[in-house]
A and B are shown apart, each in its own frame.
Chain A
Amino acid sequence: MAQAAQKLTTLDARLASLSQPAGGWPDGARADALSRLHAMGLPERRDEYWKYTRPDTLTQPAAVPAALFDNDEGPIFGHMDRIQIVFVDGVFDADASSDLVAEGLSIDRLAEARADIHWARDLYGTLEAKGQSPVARPLAALNTAFAPDGVLIHVTGQVSKPVSLQYHHRSETSDAMLHHVIRVDAGAAITVLENGPAAARFNKVMEVDVADGAEFHHVRAQGRDHERRAATHMFARLGAESVFKSFTLTANGVMTRNECVIELTGDDAVAHVAGACVGDGDFHHDDTVFVTHDAVGCESRQVFKKVLRNGATGVFQGKILVKKDAQKTDGYQISQSLLLDDDSQFLAKPELEIYADDVACSHGSTSGAIDEDALFYLRSRGVPEATATDLLTLAFLAEAVEEIENEALRDEINDRLAAWLERHRG
């Protein structure tokens, strides 16, 4: 009981610093989310689901200030033809953004959603609410109740270029919240890119409804600001024969919790979630994934790789739940860390819960150091130790990066990883 009371105290403190946006159709969903939140409270240190990640800096009333970071690399995805949607510390920047019109899709902003947008009204907060069971995700409910902006993307056909959400961080004390809703109609396809640190503290929810035969591709790079903090949630519902593929690159950041909640509701759907993270020193990165198979013949893959050094911490909590009627499920989960010294740590909690009797599910989790034999082999051929270590590290990350289907995007992510490794040698 003491814990429940503490959760509500934390919630009250947090709510005191927030004001609810008002106006238009999302208000009902916001009110519902607020009542869910009052029933849950905010996460506490002793929550089982927060065993490896301290929630306090994510739940306290104000963001811990984060110094601005001078990124000398130039923006990722910068050379690509894309529809750009720019937020600065969580505030939409119209001047920096493209015109939000393109063939095959419509884009609206949550902040301007006065007139009813039926498809979005049906989705906003709906997948998040569903994702609260069997495990509570209070920070996502907080987001649904309070996020002042975000984009509502309705994909009705084949979109020729990716939609690129860019999150700039320009204020040391910014505390940003965004809530995106994406609906991909039957047979339609889209690639969504996300990049940037966003704010000193960022709470983001993305709800994605992938209809029958539709495809959703997602590639994200979370921004190199050392001191930024982020709690993000992705909620996805997949129709029959649909495809969902999401990849996240995380380089630096003192606190990152990325939750991904996927429900396979139509037969023969495919969901792949992957992540590559590299952390040096004061770095904490948590991937929490929950995949529910609720239809026949679906395939899911979770591939998470973490490179950690100088006391960095990596966390993986991944679950595959196969419901009773989800026969012929093909579920795969792997989480691995490469620890470049004795101070770093990787905490993993892989889980399978299977009620169907005709399934193929496998999972594995490992922690290891650089393979000394491979290192010597490379060096004996003249490759300097640092270069050889980088090569082996990129090779370790490759299984996750290869989950990105688009070759140009894959190359761009690999370049970023190689550059990071070169900067963080020794």
Chain B
Amino acid sequence: MLSIKNLHVKLEEEDKQILKGVDLEVDAGKVHAIMGPNGSGKSTLSYVLSGKDGYEVTDGAAMLEGEDLLDMDPEERAAAGLFLAFQYPVEIPGVGNMTFLRTAVNAQRKARGEEEMSASDFLKAVRARAKELKIDADMLKRPVNVGFSGGEKKRNEILQMAMLEPKMCILDETDSGLDVDAMKLVAEGVNALRSAGRGFLVITHYQRLLDHIKPDVVHIMADGRIVKSGGPELALEVENNGYAGILEEVA
């Protein structure tokens, strides 16, 4: 599904190398987690994959189902099936959440040569999925993320994911700023979307999210590389010993 090979990335504005050769394969139906200390390059990886400005790929490749992601505009990546749940979802005053969702869904359909969703089908689909995520009608009417609590913003990300039905989902620290109940709700939303045809890459600092979203593979990232990979037990090792122990062992 997602294939990253020897990915090297530096900041455009300054001569600072962030990713120094990332290799990663996420197969359809699998959930991979990336853990790592602050500044290890986890968020940069998610931004580079989704096409944010300000980064320069100096070497390597990233493919989604054989298509070169790095060659596409952000909207093309989305239409190809990539989705990033933001660590800090952006507030957009003046744009209604529903308008935003419908524009996005239909833009992707159009890009893929599919028929646009009718207003009534769309409304039905949104209502059903919003209900599962305990998103009320008022949140759907309000401008995108404006005045939303931290938990509401993250649930809104998952709602978008559910509506857009991507093939490959990247969750960037979706647990940050969430209390236990909110985290459970978000995790349930993610688990409901797990399927044989869909891959997940879950970026997190802490093991606790992985109690709720059970990963198949866990990677440890440090200084711009994946330094260790293993099963779910690797996350527990981080929880018990911190990153320091693992990094020493690798070094």
Contacts and interface: CB of A to CB of B under 8 A. Distances in A.
Answer yes or no: are A and B bound together in one complex. Answer: yes
Interface of A: 371-374, 376-385, 387-388, 391-392, 394-396, 398-399
Given A374-B92, A377-B90, A382 B73 contact: no
Given A376-B53, A376-B74, A382 B107 contact: yes
A381 B90 contact: no
A192 to B, nearest CB: 27
B180 interface: no
Contact of A399 (B94, B100, B104, B105): B94
B100 A378 contact: yes
Interface string B79-120: 100011010011111110001100111011001000000000
A286 B15 CA distance: 45
Contacts of B94: 392, 394-396, 398-399
Nearest to B92: A374
B75 A385 contact: yes
Given A381-B160, A392-B95, A374 B90 contact: yes
Contacts of B91: 374
B86 A377 contact: yes
A395 B95 contact: yes
Q: Which among B73, B84, B93 has the highest number of chain A CB atoms within 10 Å?
A: B93
B218 interface: no
Nearest to A394: B94
Contact of A395 (B74, B93, B108): B93
Given A372-B53, A387-B103, A387-B107, A380 B78 contact: yes
Contacts of B150: none
Contact of B89 (A377, A388, A398): A377
Nearest to B160: A381
Q: Which among A377, A391, A398 has the highest number of chain B CB atoms within 10 Å?
A: A377
B50 interface: yes
A384 B95 contact: no
Contact of B92 (A377, A382, A385, A399): A377
A388 B99 CA distance: 12
A382 B108 contact: yes
Nearest to B104: A381
Q: Which among B53, B84, B95, B164 has the highest number of chain A CB atoms within 10 Å?
A: B95
B228 interface: no
Interface in B24-75: 50-53, 73-75
A388 B94 CA distance: 13
